[in-house]
């Protein structure tokens, strides 16, 4: 059970209060204080928090705030990308990133400590898997970023991407609980359409996401258009090959009436040729799809490099000419090691 305040949905909070003999009507000011005002310590003096709730907050039965400490923090040269290293109650550390511009910030969140998927180019994959995060620990990351934004930029988070450490669909229930809280209009009220869940192809999770009550965007990391090539970058492809992955994506797109976003990390000499671009077009034919092209963010454990700008443009031209919408994702924040797991990896190395 998850008893931290951040991880309780509105309904779960009402149930907790009722169980303790407090009228559930008190859930409203408390939920607002936790998720809108982002209070942690002085909840009992928040607006609308009346004596019965104050007594409950002081009692043993009350849910407490999620323990999370900011232990590292680095900003990009342009000041818009900021990466946070957060220590959890058991000493585990995860990263969250704020990206964007004033007025439209995106928070990139972690779903696990480490990752079991082992993608070869990824700093988190190179660490291995430690544990899943709880819903509280996922929501608390958003609060951390939002608090800092309000304090430093006067801004606010408009979008959420589950693209930090971990495979979110491998930690399905806590991730969905957290996102349902973050998108609750009685709290932070970030629209579900502004939430993207990134996966390397964890098919049972895609199928469940397709049937989830809220419609979150699906972003699938492809990086290869054949099982042989993709399998060399993403070991999970051996378990769930491309044909099954694309079938699950088509089902999501049809049932949710939504476009699927595909990420293609461009790796020089590995998957950046004209032929690769043409095969990407071929496998996505007929699907409501958008491709995000991401020049490789270099990591210590993977020797390959990003292609030059000209090659990136040529690759994009081929898929654009075929009518497949695409965007080249700028490598913003590379000076803050903004690829997932990189800040933690650097810290581990420094402390060895
Ligand atoms: S890319 Fe994502 S799924 Fe793959 S190892 Fe890294 S965190 Fe895990």
If asked whether residues 268 and 120 sit together in one domain, one would say yes
* Ligand 1 centroid – CA 248 distance (Å): 19
Higher pLDDT, 337 or 289: 289
If asked whether residues 52 and 168 sit together in one domain, one would say no
Residue 351 pLDDT level (bands cut at 50, 70, 90): very low
Is the confidence at residue 345, as pLDDT, over 60?
yes
pTM (2 decimals)? Answer: 0.92
Query: What pLDDT does residue 41 have?
Result: 84
Query: What pLDDT does residue 339 have?
Result: 60
Residue 139 pLDDT level (bands cut at 50, 70, 90): very high
If asked whether residues 42 and 87 sit together in one domain, one would say no
* Ligand 1 centroid – CA 122 distance (Å): 6
If asked whether residues 22 and 85 sit together in one domain, one would say no
Q: CB of 264 within 8 A of CB of 291? A: yes
Q: Tell me how many domains the chain contains.
A: 2
What are the pocket residues of ligand 1 if the criterion is a CB atom closer than 6 Å to any ligand atom? 115, 117-119, 122, 124-125, 165-167, 200, 340
If asked whether residues 105 and 47 sit together in one domain, one would say no
Q: CB of 142 within 8 A of CB of 182? A: yes
Query: What pLDDT does residue 340 have?
Result: 62
If asked whether residues 308 and 326 sit together in one domain, one would say yes
Residue whose CA is at the smallest distance from ligand 1 atom 4? 119
Which one of 93, 95, 137, 146 is the catalytic residue?
Answer: 95
Q: CB of 51 within 8 A of CB of 98? A: no
Burial of 332 (0-12, 13-18, 19+ CB in 10 A): middle
Among 147, 153, 31, 130, smallest CA distance to 96 is for: 147
Instruction: Examine residue 285 and state whether it is found in any structural domain, yes or no.
Output: yes
If asked whether residues 103 and 216 sit together in one domain, one would say yes
The arithmetic mean of pLDDT across residues 158-166, rounded, is: 96
If asked whether residues 136 and 255 sit together in one domain, one would say yes
Query: Using one digit for the tens of pLDDT, what is the confidence trace for 190-225?
Result: 999 999 999 999 999 999 999 999 999 999 999 999
If asked whether residues 107 and 46 sit together in one domain, one would say no
DSSP letter, residue 67: P
Which residues are CB-neighbours of 337 under 8 A, at least 6 positions away? 74, 83, 123, 343, 345, 346
Query: What pLDDT does residue 282 have?
Result: 97
Q: CB of 304 within 8 A of CB of 297? A: no
If asked whether residues 51 and 137 sit together in one domain, one would say no
Structure tokens at 138: 């996922």
If asked whether residues 150 and 36 sit together in one domain, one would say no
Instruction: Examine residue 14 and state whether it is found in any structural domain, yes or no.
Output: yes
The arithmetic mean of pLDDT across residues 5-31, rounded, is: 97
122 is catalytic: no
115 is catalytic: no
Query: What pLDDT does residue 338 have?
Result: 52
Instruction: Tell me the residue range of the domain where 191 lies.
Output: 68-351
Residue whose CA is at the smallest distance from ligand 1 atom 7? 166
Instruction: Examine residue 63 and state whether it is found in any structural domain, yes or no.
Output: no
């Amino acid at each position: 059970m998850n008893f931290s305040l951040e991880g309780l949905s509105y309904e779960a909070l009402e149930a907790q209060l009722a169980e303790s003999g407090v009228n559930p009507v008190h859930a409203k000011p408390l939920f607002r204080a936790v998720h809108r005002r982002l209070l942690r310590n002085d909840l009992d003096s928040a607006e609308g928090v009346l004596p019965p709730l104050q007594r409950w907050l002081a009692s043993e039965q009350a849910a407490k705030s999620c323990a999370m400490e900011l232990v590292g923090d680095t900003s990009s040269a342009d000041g818009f990308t900021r990466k946070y290293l957060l220590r959890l109650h058991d000493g585990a550390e995860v990263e969250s990133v704020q990206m964007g511009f004033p007025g439209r910030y995106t928070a990139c969140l972690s779903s696990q400590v480490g990752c079991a998927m082992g993608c070869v180019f990824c700093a988190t994959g190179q660490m291995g898997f430690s544990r899943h995060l709880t819903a509280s620990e996922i929501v608390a990351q958003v609060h951390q970023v939002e608090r800092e934004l309000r304090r430093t930029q006067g801004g606010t988070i408009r979008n959420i991407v589950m693209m930090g450490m971990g495979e979110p669909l491998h930690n399905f229930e806590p991730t969905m609980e957290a996102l349902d809280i973050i998108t609750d209009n009685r709290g932070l009220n970030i629209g579900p359409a502004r939430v993207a869940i990134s996966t390397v192809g964890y098919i049972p999770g895609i199928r469940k996401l397709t049937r989830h009550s809220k419609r979150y965007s699906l972003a699938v990391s492809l990086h290869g258009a054949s099982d042989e090539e993709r399998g060399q970058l993403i070991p999970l492809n051996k378990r769930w090959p491309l044909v099954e992955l694309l079938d699950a994506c088509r089902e999501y797109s049809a049932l949710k009436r939504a476009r699927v976003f595909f990420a293609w990390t461009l790796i020089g000499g590995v998957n950046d040729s004209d032929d690769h671009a043409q095969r990407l077009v071929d496998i996505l034919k007929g699907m409501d799809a958008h491709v995000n092209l991401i020049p490789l963010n270099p990591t210590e454990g993977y020797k390959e490099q990003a292609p030059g700008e000209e090659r990136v443009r040529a690759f994009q031209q081929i898929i654009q000419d075929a009518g497949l919408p695409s965007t080249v994702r700028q490598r913003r924040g590379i000076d803050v090691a903004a690829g997932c797991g990189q800040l933690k990896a650097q810290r581990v190395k420094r402390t060895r």
